[in-house]
Structure 1
């Protein structure tokens, strides 16, 4: 990285912000940026967004401790992580549109490397639950091919690496109560109320 810094042409005095932007661009150009991240303020609190070159890999609520999430991404994917908002421009724009009621589905590349097996089958089904609708854990289990795996659906939703974008908030208990949610019950209530309006 010091070679990258030394090779940056200095045409004006660099502020820390400009230096960070130039380092980010140089790291991206050199193939040294494996995970880019940024945060976004939303009606459900600050969201950490992280993306690989393949697509969005992680969405985390503030209550999940963003620093701990970044450390887990470094261990699971690569330690070459940098705050690089530009890679996340499309998902940021779509989330802004979603939270203002102008978008009902997301159209960004997703990197599902943090989910496998049955959990991945559940996550692949979740976008099929239409905006403004919900399904029970039992209905999702049946749709994912294992009708008896209701608890496993709950676990898959709880460990969903891409909440909001992959709408696990649309999965509720058979009695209609919310159930657990990574962002907390209040965040789930906000999302479902917003979608029902």
Structure 2
């Protein structure tokens, strides 16, 4: 099994390296995406990012994206199966939207207005994402000096934000380990 995974990683790394090389050879073409940011960092003489680190980062993003999606779907099914009243409320909301769609000439397309009317659906999604903590940490670069609780975080520093510490903090969320989509009532789409 390990050999298959090692071979797969090697093949993916070759594909990623080829893509990075294409981007590096034509920096004038900008897509304004993660690849552009990597090329920018790799061409910056003061950067500590190497090609190897860049390729590992891209590989990790692909893996994390796959893992996060399957984890999110699994968590959603678990939370919804544990809360049948939430499923009932979702069904009611979606039935109302389907009824409105049936009254329209083009009843096969969800419109922006339909999407915006999915208030409870949005609350459920936000609550699943809060409890899932799919990205346990995020890195951000300070764009200016930031004062926080008597400390100064200088411009240009990397800051690590731990979403677990925020999403499960009882000072921020009442009963933080409970699945309560209604806690998002005050937020609009």
TM-score range, shorter chain: under 0.3
Structure of larger gyration radius: 2
Higher strand share: 1
The structure showing larger relative contact order (alpha-carbon pairs under 8 Å, at least 6 residues apart) is 1
When normalised by structure 1's length, the TM-score is: 0.24
Higher helix share: 2
